[in-house]
A = this chain, B = another copy of it.
Amino acid sequence: MPDQTTDGRPVLGLDADDTLWENEARFAAAEGRFCDLTAPWADRERASVALLAADRVAVARYGYGVKGFVLSMIRTAVQLSDGAVSSSEITEIMALGDEILDAPLEVLPGVRDTLEKLAVDHSLLVVTKGDITDQMAKVDASGLADLFWQVEVVGEKDEATYRMVLARHGINPATFTMVGNSVVSDVLPVLALGGRAIHVPHHTTWELEVADPQALDGIEFPVLETITDVPALLADWA
């Protein structure tokens, strides 16, 4: 089946946020402004810790993305201010969400050239999580859509989801390689399915994506400094 669906070329999976373009930075900027806004009630560290705790709950409940993050900021502001936050401050918090959505998309250095090289002998499958509308808008804004064979916006990037996505496209996990900046979401679940994975760390990693050291025990995978090194590694493997 892979032959029909991908013209016989192996499928290369690509994470999007913080692998192909900046994303965490959008959220970090909003978080900074949120800490300014809650400064009357809590110092920055306490505000950040409370926001992260709220977001951990929100992600499990509502899924990933900007909308859930805005709800977490509102909830945290109410909590930190002991209810004293005003409706105009709530409106400012909602505007922070809009700023995240409106931030110009910044494709990471070397990505376009690298994907053009990779697309010559791979079918490129983007696997990303978050709000569908926002994720698809970023794909459009990236100018990279013509290089992608398929884009899958999923709820969670765990083994079950990768199994479903690979089955949907008739891809044998043993022939699949995933590239991404998150060990938790891009590397471990794909290795568990018998695929290969390449870790390309980003300069910032969202705390909810930091792997438990125990989960890494005895597991090996290549770590590259930049996505531009991926074609050479794949050529080595071939």
A contacts, CB < 8 Å to B? 1, 4-5, 61-63, 65-68, 70-71, 74-75, 77-78, 81, 83-88, 90-91, 94, 97-98, 101, 129, 131-134, 136, 150, 153-156, 168-170
* Closest residue of B by beta carbon distance from A63: B133
Chain B residues near A66 (CB, 8 Å)? 62
Least CB separation from A101: chain B residue: B61
Can you list 10 A-B pairs with a CB-CB distance of less than 8 A? A61-B98, A62-B66, A62-B101, A62-B133, A63-B134, A70-B71, A78-B87, A83-B88, A84-B87, A153-B155
| Residues in B neighbouring A90, C-beta threshold 8 A | 74, 78, 87, 90
Measured between C-beta atoms, what is the minimum distance from A153 to chain B in Å? 7
Are B155 and A132 in contact, with the CB atoms below 8 A? yes
Kindly state the separation between the CA atoms of A91 and B133 in the bound complex, as whole angstroms: 26
**Chain B positions within 8 Å of A155 at CB level:** 132-133, 136, 153
> Are B94 and A74 closer than 8 Å at their CB atoms?
yes
User: What is the interface of chain A mostly: helix, strand, loop, or mixed?
Assistant: helix
CB within 8 Å for A170 and B4 given contacts A63-B133, A84-B87, A133-B63: yes
Smallest Cβ-Cβ distance to A58: which chain B residue: B67
A86–B4 alpha-carbon span in the complex (Å) = 58
Closest 10 pairs (CB-CB, A-B):
A63-B133, A67-B67, A132-B155, A83-B87, A78-B87, A133-B155, A85-B87, A136-B155, A1-B4, A62-B67
Residues of B within 8 A of A129 (CB): 132
Cβ of A88 to closest chain B Cβ, rounded Å: 6
Give the complex CA separation of A1 and B181 in angstroms.
34
Q: How many Å from the CB of A82 to the closest CB on chain B?
A: 9
Give the complex CA separation of A106 and B214 in angstroms.
41
Residues of chain B with a CB closer than 8 A to A150's CB:
168
Q: Which of A65, A131, A156 has the most CB of B within 10 A?
A: A131
A61 to chain B, nearest CB (A): 7
